[in-house]
Amino acid sequence: MINKETITEWFKSLQDEACNILSQADGKGVFFEDAWSRPGGGGGRTRIIQNGNVIEKGAINFSAVYGETPEKILQALNLSNADFYATGVSTIQHPFNPFVPIIHMNVRYFEMSDGTWWFGGGIDLTPHYIDDNDASDFHSELKKICDSHDTSYYDRFKNWADDYFYIKHRKETRGIGGIFFDRLNDKPKEDIFEFVKDVGTMFANFYKKMMLKHQNDPFTESDINWRNLRRGRYVEFNLVWDKGTKFGLDTDGRTESILASLPPYAQWPYKYDANPKEQETLDKLKKGIDWINKKGL
């Protein structure tokens, strides 16, 4: 039987597995754990990797929090007044090499004492320089996962990701997107959970492939400056638009863990003039691209 306890235990195992895969792929960096407790109920395990061979800073975090639902959450989600339970895994990896992309993944489960429940999550890739073949590979894997559960999922969740991972004030997408879904409860809980598990499991295996493919790509100081500018765009999205950040802060989550997604270095040069290679990426930061068939580029 699927319940919050079995879901929570699987999320813990996902964190363990992902940490093992990425630390082995990095070859130097290891994840250290910082366990924490939430005064209102629950807690989590923050795991951070820093200054590895490939990953400059990364986080794979697990949390399970519960208690009285804050008024802000009740109003924002149009919920009745009841206690909540929320658990999930969230990860973000910031590499040294500008040709290794940033990756984000989050899978989560939410329920209330009145019987309300849903799953949410998403995974997206944010290259500093967009590689069309990597983008096609990423989206092809996502479509395969989606199609194995529901053939409507990929188009539906890909479009949702295009809209969600969009930096409105810059009028550009955060990267090449991926999939995003929220408040998913239109099928039996067991069926949706299997889909969520497949999304969660894909993350570390795919990112290991990107690490091994690009970790030795040559780069210049100019590439580092561009990487740091693109990281700045990532910071802007997380602090201005990301609902997960807002949820964590509004439920008195651990601030240090919530903001672990931010890179160690970023920059905001004034009126930056992109060079031709950089402009190629900027021109592709738009919604609606068919990355699998490379249409709309």
Confidence tier at 234 by pLDDT (50, 70, 90)? very high
Q: What is the pLDDT of residue 255?
A: 85
Encoded tokens for 220: 């210049």
Tokens of 256: 């240090």
Residues in Cβ contact with 112 at an 8 Å cutoff, skipping those fewer than 6 apart: 69, 79, 80, 82, 83, 84, 85
> DSSP string spanning 46-94?
EEEEES-SSEEEEEEEEEEEEEEPPHHHHHHHT--S-EEEEEEEEEEEE
Q: Domain limits at 252? A: 4-284
Report percent pLDDT > 90 for the chain: 83
3-state secondary structure of 268: coil
Query: Across the chain, what does the average pLDDT equal?
Result: 94
The pLDDT of residue 244 is 78
Please report whether residue 289 resides in a domain: no
79 domain residue, yes or no? yes
DSSP characters over 120-171 = EEEEEEE-SS--HHHHHHHHHHHHHHHHTT-TTHHHHHHHHHHHHSEETTTT
Compute, in degrees rounded to 10, the torsion defined by CA atoms 272, 278, 280, 284: -70
Q: Which amino acid is at 20?
A: N
Cα–Cα distance measured from residue 92 to residue 101, given in angstroms and rounded to the nearest whole number: 11
6 Cβ neighbours under 8 A, 6+ residues apart: none
Domain with 234 in it: what CATH number?
3.40.1500.10
User: 297 in a domain, yes or no?
Assistant: no
Distance between start and end Cα atoms, the chain = 46
- Cβ neighbours of residue 40 closer than 8 Å, sequence gap 6 or more: 65, 66, 67, 68, 251, 252
Q: How far apart are CA 267 and CA 232, in angstroms?
A: 6
The model carries a pTM of 0.93
Residue 161's pLDDT is 97
Task: Report d(CA 4, CA 110) in Å as an integer.
Answer: 9
Q: Is residue 116 part of a domain?
A: yes
Is residue 13 in some structural domain?
A: yes
- Is residue 294 in a domain? no
Q: Which residue has the higher pLDDT, 249 or 85?
A: 85
Looking at the structure of the chain, the number of domains it has is 1
Compute the distance between CA of residue 160 and CA of residue 155 in angstroms, rounded to an integer: 8
104 is catalytic: yes
pLDDT confidence tier of residue 261, bands split at 50, 70 and 90 = confident
Q: What is the DSSP letter of 297?
A: -
pLDDT value of residue 250: 78
Whether the per-residue pLDDT at 40 is higher than 90: the answer is no
Q: Nearest Cα to 173, choosing from 123, 120, 226, 237? A: 237
Kindly name the residue from 104, 128, 139, 214 that is annotated as catalytic: 104
Q: For 119-142, how does the pLDDT look when each residue is reduced to its tens digit (9 = 90+)?
A: 999 999 999 999 999 999 999 999
- Contact of 34 with 56, CB cutoff 8 Å: no
Amino acid found at 169: H
Q: What's the pLDDT tens digit per position in 84-121?
A: 999 999 999 999 999 999 999 999 999 988 988 999 99
Binning the chain into helix, strand and coil, the percentages to the nearest 5 are 40, 25, 30
Per the domain annotation, does 291 fall within a domain?
A: no
> Is pLDDT at 252 greater than 80 in this prediction?
no
Q: Please indicate, yes or no, if residue 208 is contained in any of the structural domains.
A: yes
The whole-angstrom separation of Cα 12 and Cα 2 is: 15
Could you tell me the pLDDT band of residue 174, with boundaries at 50, 70 and 90? Answer: very high
Residues 22/208, Cβ–Cβ less than 8 Å: yes
